């Protein structure tokens, strides 16, 4: 009798660098969007986002070619940090539109079209990664599932808050 081990075909495993890649795309999207909305945003902001995206590419190159022997946990945290920075910039642009410029309508559109989808997609990637890497970091699956729920709840809360505040402002204007 002979035991032959057949390797079944599975989809390629998610690498931590997927977060860096997602961050790069978010920064590039921000760059183009802020260019179109340059009336509302500082003129240098699109170029700053391009530089930020280039840093993401640098992270990927370092992971792949310069320091491939780095542990997966290290790579995970710096790629994850980069993604968080990209998302923070998305939310920051949202706040920038809402607060100093008082452009509530634009801010609401931004949150629906940019902030919410980018957070949702990022959360999905993180959750997928966390669920397939339980052997690497035992608690990361629980962390990501909790983070996913928190992110969705936060987005829903922001949208609800904007909706309510808009309705209240509308009433106040109507009352005057």
Q: Would you tell me which residues interact with other proteins (CB under 8 A)?
A: 1-8, 12-13, 15, 17-18, 20-21, 24-25, 28, 31-32, 35, 46-47, 50, 53-54, 56-57, 60-61, 63-64
Three-point CA angle 137, 128, 81, nearest 5°: 65
Residue number with CB closer to other proteins (58 or 113): 58
Residue number with CB closer to other proteins (121 or 153): 121
**Packing angle between helix 72-98 and helix 17-36, nearest 10 degrees?**
20
d(Cα 14, Cα 155) in Å, to the nearest integer? 25
Contacts of 53 (CB under 8 A, 6+ apart): 24, 27, 28, 31
At its nearest, how many Å lie between other proteins and the CB of residue 77? 17
At its nearest, how many Å lie between other proteins and the CB of residue 149? 27
Count of Cβ atoms closer than 10 Å to residue 13 Cβ: 8
At its nearest, how many Å lie between other proteins and the CB of residue 25? 6
- Residues listed for the chain: 176
At its nearest, how many Å lie between other proteins and the CB of residue 54? 6
Residue number with CB closer to other proteins (56 or 130): 56
């Amino acid at each position: 009798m002979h035991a032959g081990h057949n390797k079944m075909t599975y989809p390629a495993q998610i690498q931590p660098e997927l977060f860096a890649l997602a961050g790069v795309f978010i920064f590039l999207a921000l760059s183009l969007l802020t260019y179109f909305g340059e009336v509302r945003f500082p003129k240098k902001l699109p170029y700053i986002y391009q530089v930020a995206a280039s840093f993401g590419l640098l992270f990927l190159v370092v992971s792949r070619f310069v320091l491939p022997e780095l542990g997966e946990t290290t790579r995970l945290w710096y790629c994850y940090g980069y993604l968080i920075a990209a998302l923070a910039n998305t939310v920051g642009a949202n706040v920038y539109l809402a607060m100093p410029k008082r452009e509530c309508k634009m801010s609401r559109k931004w949150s629906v079209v940019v902030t919410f989808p980018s957070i949702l997609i990022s959360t999905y990637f993180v959750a997928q990664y966390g669920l397939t890497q339980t052997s690497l970091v035992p608690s990361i699956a629980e962390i990501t599932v909790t983070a996913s729920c928190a992110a969705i709840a936060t987005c829903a809360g922001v949208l609800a808050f904007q909706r309510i505040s808009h309705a209240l402002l509308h009433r106040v204007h109507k009352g005057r």
